[in-house]
Structure formats: structure tokens, C-alpha cells
Amino acid sequence: MTNANTDKIVIKGIPAKFDPSELERRQQQSLWAYQQTSQCCEMIRGAIPQQFLQAVSDKMAAGYTLSKYPITMESLNYSAHLVKPPVIQEVDIAAIKNDVRLAYRAELEACHEDYKQRLYAQLVQAEESKQAAKVQAAKDKVYADLKRQADQTYSPLVFPEA
């Protein structure tokens, strides 16, 4: 005996729609994370002090500034985070906004596709239910006709009373 799934598929609600304020919120959240973490910085390293200081000097001349992160001055391991200049940050910010936009779009498209798939499954289930009802009605009609034929073939049993 097979165990058929008898749960009726019902879709509630509608898929999410594009909301400019939601996109803006997500972009602002990502930008805040960019500005509050080391993402807005570039790590400068050097094995010897002269090499490290020259790299820092070159970056500072290019518009980089010191960050809030500590500078490491261990022997053979000199490093510092320098904040990127505004021109480079603008490029990063544009890329972040675009990435967030693409991710939001992909999320909305996935939501719409999920609703389409569930609607299709609901329609298939409804059609199969209709077809099964038609088949059962036809069977019931045939069985009723066969029962009637059997009843007409034999006369009722006559059994004498004692």
C-alpha cells in the first residue's frame, strides 16, 4: 500500500517586491560595516624598519592616513593599517553598493521563483485531485451498474417460513 501525501498545498501572501528604502537600508548597513572595520584600510608590511617606513611614507604621500588600529613593531614583523584615500574609498563604496544591489535582486528573484514553483505545485495538485475525482466517479458509476446487473440477474432468495 502506498502512502500518498495528502497535504494540500496552499500559497499565502505574495512574493516580496523591490523596495528602494530596503535597498538603501542594506547599502547603508554595508557601508557602515566598511567604514567601521579594516575594510577601508590597507595593510602595510615590512620585514625591516627601513622597508616598512618607506612603504608607509609612500602610502601617506598617496593620501593614506593612519587608522585606529595598532601598529606592530616586532622584529622582522612591522605592519600597520592605513586608511585608504577618499578616491579609492569611493571605488570601494561603489562596488559595495553594486554588490548589495545584486544580492538584493538575486534574493527577490529567488523569492519570486519560489512562489512560481509553489503555485505550479498547487495547480498540479488541484488538477490531479480533479482527475482522481473524475476517475473515482467513473469507477463508482461502473460498479453501481455492475451491482444493478448482478441484482437483476438473480431473483431474490425464497426461503419458506417454518
- pLDDT 10s digits, 76-113: 999 999 999 999 999 999 999 999 999 999 999 999 99
Which helix (H) or strand (E) segment is 153 a member of? helix 86-153
Residue whose C-alpha cell is 538603501: 24
Among 54-58, 76-80, 114-118, 153-157, the minimum mean pLDDT is found in 153-157
pLDDT band (50, 70, 90) for residue 1: very low
Q: 82-104 burial, b for 16+ CB within 10 Å, e for fewer?
A: bbbeeeebeeebeebbeebeeeb
Using CA atoms, how far apart are residues 58 and 43, in angstroms rounded to an integer? 13
Which helix (H) or strand (E) segment is 108 a member of? helix 86-153
Residue whose C-alpha cell is 466517479: 137
- pLDDT 10s digits, 30-75: 999 999 999 999 999 999 999 999 999 999 999 999 999 999 999 8
Using CA atoms, how far apart are residues 128 and 4, in angstroms rounded to an integer? 12
pTM for the whole structure: 0.73
Domains of the chain, residue spans: 20-147
